[in-house]
Structure 1
Amino acid sequence: MKNQIKILLFVAVLCTAFTYGQAAPPPVPPPPPPGLPIDGGVLFLFISGIILGVKKLKKN
């Protein structure tokens, strides 16, 4: 009888540990605010296009 109680208590503690021992999911990040600045790569591409256009116009 004592062994059955010990086994039942062990199973109850084990189930409780598995239930409450799991990690919580990470929080959801907030959405980005409106009006973000232009990315540096896009700005570099735009400026290099303007410079290339000016060079071609001066050459012709």
Structure 2
Amino acid sequence: MFASILVVFVSFASIAQSGTGVPPPPAPPPPPGLPIDGGIVALFIIALCYGVYKSYKISKQTA
């Protein structure tokens, strides 16, 4: 009985394997080489200037 069960499981395992001589599917193309943080320094400088401008404007209003 045990040997019969092993034969059935081996047959399932051999069916699940890919066929011989079949090449694997081609690999996907590589992602583009663009950096994620391209303009982060410029954005930081603009945000800093805007913050200084807003704080100056608010301090001038209250004074």
Q: Please confirm whether the aligned pair reaches a TM-score higher than 0.5, indicating the same fold.
A: no
TM-score band, normalised by shorter chain:
0.3 to 0.5
TM-score, normalised to structure 2's length? 0.33
Larger helix fraction of residues: 1
